[in-house]
Amino acid sequence: MRLSRAFQPTLKEVPSEAQIASHRLMLRAGLIRQTAAGIYAWLPAGLRVLRNIARIVREEQDAIGAQEVLMPTIQSADLWRRSGRYDAYGPEMLRLKDRHERELLYGPTNEEMITDLFGGAVKSYRELPQVLYQIQWKFRDEVRPRFGVMRGREFFMKDAYTFDADYEGAVKSYRRMMLAYLRTFQRLGVRAVPMVADTGPIGGNLSHEFLILAPTGESGVFYDAALEEQDWLSEPVDIDDSASLAAFFDKVTHFYAATDEKHDEAAWAEVPEGRRREGRGIEVGHIFYFGTKYSESMGISVSGPDGAPLYPEMGSYGIGVSRLVGAIIEASHDEAGLIWPDAVAPYKAAILNLKPGDSATDAVCERLYAAGAEIFLYDDRAERAGVKFNDADLMGHPWQMIVGPRGAKDGTVELKRRATGERFELSVEDALAKVLGA
Amino acid sequence: MRLSRAFQPTLKEVPSEAQIASHRLMLRAGLIRQTAAGIYAWLPAGLRVLRNIARIVREEQDAIGAQEVLMPTIQSADLWRRSGRYDAYGPEMLRLKDRHERELLYGPTNEEMITDLFGGAVKSYRELPQVLYQIQWKFRDEVRPRFGVMRGREFFMKDAYTFDADYEGAVKSYRRMMLAYLRTFQRLGVRAVPMVADTGPIGGNLSHEFLILAPTGESGVFYDAALEEQDWLSEPVDIDDSASLAAFFDKVTHFYAATDEKHDEAAWAEVPEGRRREGRGIEVGHIFYFGTKYSESMGISVSGPDGAPLYPEMGSYGIGVSRLVGAIIEASHDEAGLIWPDAVAPYKAAILNLKPGDSATDAVCERLYAAGAEIFLYDDRAERAGVKFNDADLMGHPWQMIVGPRGAKDGTVELKRRATGERFELSVEDALAKVLGA
């Protein structure tokens, strides 16, 4: 994309209500615009990030055998009356009526609907387990929306649901999802640490929140640094084998990790001092086993091995896709602007033409651009070099390919790595190879 | 995907309110389920079709330089008050209030929001033209929703908007979009014929509906068969050149095509008799130039060449993505079930294992499946051959790869083309080559 044509309006001044870095930087870099309180439009560069995240989330869900569906945003109130949650859910539920005065709501989550869809489709325990997920817009009417997309009202979320014939099956499903989550976050270029969360009346240890370390996080967190150092992508886990899943799960949960609510000073003291990490964390995912809560309350069963009705054991598993855009920025930015991890960046590199109109400079830039018009943002604007440097730093492309008249004459490009500030003087071919190979 | 694991519940009986073939077949083949009146959940196979269509729509929008954004589903009533449409829009608009009693609505279309976003970003006529689009869920509260996804209430739509400095620019934008639409529909495997539509007070000929010929269409249509025979994908058009765009547009509009509302018997009589096509059509797209209607009413201008405010000339351009799923089926099915065009099919082929448990048959099926687990649906169920034949015909995969014990012993596969019924006796390699090369 040529920046002269791109719909990416940068801002010098941001509204004072943008209190945190991710909110300010998303507005300044032209990724989003607010259209109502807590509701945002995604501009092209922001949408590219959102979609990169969604793609990685999807690939890792698919990898554990989850099947993607897409449920509507508007749900019937009657569906929620069946589980008893319509009255129980507070004012965060956006309730509405259609022209025939039928009560509807904008889905804040989908346990009821997926349980109902499951019930209409699956008749026998032999068809279990089932793992269904969607990536869809949801609405929670926060009383005081703030922090941009981190606590918006209309938000994009991956929600998965598992259905198993028994507790042992549910545990396997839960552990598979734990693996998918760890791999997802690692691929996104952030480390989200799983921490035991409340299970409510169900008890047990099958509820984890995933938190990204960032100073603006809503919770205090304490964890063993060893958790960040694991390579979950190469961790050998056979997702069809209970023992392999159990070994993996033990490895994850054996390291200390807790939010302040669950913090245990005695256990913390046993973590070697050099590995203790303490700070604040942003919740970006939550996995939760809740047994037969919805299947029983909604009367959804399959026929069991003995022919009697069997209420599936269920779990639900969320990842805040739009929230992740903000959370990644909170964890990865500096004074000058965004610093995108490679996997989620809207463009792999910016091409900075320091002298548009100079034929040698233009020629080198066009050669670079021709190698990846889809994945490079070419700053071809008639602006001063300083403006281009600042905008490229603000937008946070992983690489900057800087082309001036002097280098162009020699056929060289100055390559800058945004995250580290490292600079390389390279031929056009070597610069491309480094950027595309990275 | 193995059918034994797939969440694709087929139905023998469909509800009596499913009056048309697409609605019945989408329910029977397990593509959708209704969750409330006119509101549907998309099951995995249906979602794959929806996403294939969206991908092709997106690629052709990108090809004419349109930039993708994503606007929220919930809009502020105040935004629509600025254009005067909040009160003018009828009961099809789903209006609601949040917890603070602020008036909101579920967007039925986005002219107001995109004009506002444009105004916040573009300051000078030099930055024009701009072409922005999104593919997003919308809601229209139809008084009597019916025909499944063809006339649902929550629907998936591509809506694009163009902003030009003058009428000549707007005409070029309109013609580019005409080209993108013809190419989109051709790639989808259907022919949608552009027909002049009402322009309201604006006049001129810059409003076209695109209709797919199908017996259940809502409009009568009359057109020259030559329109269906053009190959728009290889039509040489330089989208940056006014003369080339004009020549292309003349070519399109020179053939007779009209809905019954606009039908002109005298002009019809001039179409050679053998080329007259008469029938019913389903509207799947609409392109529309409306000048400065929104930019003026909302007070959105850029600075013009003389420094004075310039109100951009606008157009809007819709494609009903979820409606297309139904429309394609209306145009492409038979008594036995769906007949997917290759480009939109959820799977390229079904693998029919006629004797699961027979080691030679299983081995051939697994070889086939290993060549494309993502794009083949492997019917590995313990069902009779007749059930498998019926389900494969119902689901409408372009190809069926039928493997029985006799063929398996010789290493051969029976390949069936769903659309024509043609059958081929081929080696595993040749069968795969034919399916993957098609």
Residues B83-123 have pLDDT tens digits of 999 999 999 999 999 999 999 999 999 999 999 999 999 99
Contacts of A37 in chain B (CB under 8 A): 102
Q: B347-437 falls under which CATH superfamily?
A: Anticodon-binding domain (3.40.50.800)
Q: Which of residues 7-46 of B touch A (CB under 8 A)?
A: 7, 9, 30, 33, 35-37, 39-44
| DSSP characters over A243-305 | HHHHHHHHHHHHS-EEEGGG--HHHHHTS-GGGEEEEEEEEEEEEEEEETHHHHHTT--EE-T
Q: Which amino acid is at A325?
A: V
pLDDT for the residue numbered A198: 83
Domains B21-337 and B347-437 share a fold: no
A107 to chain B nearest CA, in Å?
12
Contact assessment for residue B194 and residue B255, using Cβ atoms and an 8 Å cutoff: no
Residues of chain B contacting residue A140, judged by C-beta atoms under 8 Å apart: none
- Number of neighbours of residue A272 by Cβ within 10 angstroms: 9
Quick check: A2 pLDDT over 70?
yes
If pLDDT is split at 50, 70 and 90, which confidence band does A15 have? Answer: confident
Q: Tell me whether residues B73 and A73 touch, CB distance under 8 A.
A: yes
Which one-letter amino acid corresponds to residue A254? Answer: H
Decide if pLDDT at A418 tops 80. Answer: yes
pLDDT digits (tens, 9 = 90+) for A68-125: 999 999 999 999 999 999 999 999 999 999 999 999 999 999 999 999 999 999 999 9
Return the pLDDT at A438.
60
Instruction: Give the model's pLDDT for residue A125.
Output: 97
Residue B205: predicted pLDDT: 76
Q: How far apart are CA A277 and CA A226, in angstroms?
A: 10
The interface residues of chain A toward chain B in range 150-179, judged by CB-CB distance below 8 A, are 153-154
- Residue pLDDT, tens place only, A329-358: 999 999 999 999 999 999 999 999 999 999
Residue-level pLDDT at B291 = 95
User: Residue A308: is it exposed, middle or buried by C-beta count within 10 angstroms (0-12/13-18/19+)?
Assistant: exposed
**pLDDT at residue A17 in the model:** 85
For A132, the closest chain B residue by CA position comes to B7
> E strands, A313-410, where?
313-320, 333-334, 337-338, 349-353, 376-379, 399-403
Whole-number pLDDT of residue B438: 60
Q: How far apart are the first and last CA of chain A?
A: 20
Residue labelled with tokens 């059509």: B281
The pLDDT of B421-434, averaged and rounded, is 97
Indicate the domain borders of chain A.
21-337, 347-437
CB B261 within 8 A of CB B255: no
How many pairs of residues across A and B have Cβ atoms under 8 Å apart? 151
State residue B70's pLDDT score.
98
- Return the CATH architecture of domain A21-337: 2-Layer Sandwich (3.30)
pLDDT single digits (tens) B371-401: 999 999 999 999 999 999 999 999 999 999 9
A92, A113, A154 ranked by CB distance to B35: nearest: A113
Q: Where are the alpha helices (DSSP H) in A99-202?
A: 111-121, 167-188
Count Cβ atoms within 10 A of the Cβ of residue A245 and give its class: 0-12 exposed, 13-18 middle, 19 or more buried: buried
Cα Rg of chain A (Å, integer): 24
Interface of B with A in 41-80 (CB under 8 A): 41-44, 47, 50, 65, 67-76, 79
How many CA atoms within 13 Å lie on the side-chain side of A246? 5
Look at residue B359 and tell me whether its pLDDT is greater than 90: yes
Indicate the residue type of B18: A
B294-317, pLDDT tens digit by residue?
Answer: 999 999 999 999 999 999 999 999
Q: Which of B85, B70, B155 is nearest to A35 (CA)?
A: B70
Question: Mean of the per-residue pLDDT values for chain B?
Answer: 96
Angstroms from B124 CA to nearest CA on chain A: 12
Binary contact (A121, B30; C-beta < 8 A)? yes
Does pLDDT of B204 surpass 80?
no
Q: Is the peptide bond before A129 cis (omega within 30 degrees of 0)?
A: yes
Residue of B96, B377, B381 to mutate, testing the A interface (most A Cβ within 10 Å of its Cβ)? B96
Residue A33 and residue B137: Cβ atoms within 8 Å? Answer: no
Q: What is the pLDDT of residue A296?
A: 96
Percent of chain A with pLDDT over 70: 99
Give the separation between CA B83 and CA B76, rounded to whole angstroms. Answer: 12
pLDDT above 70: residue B285: yes
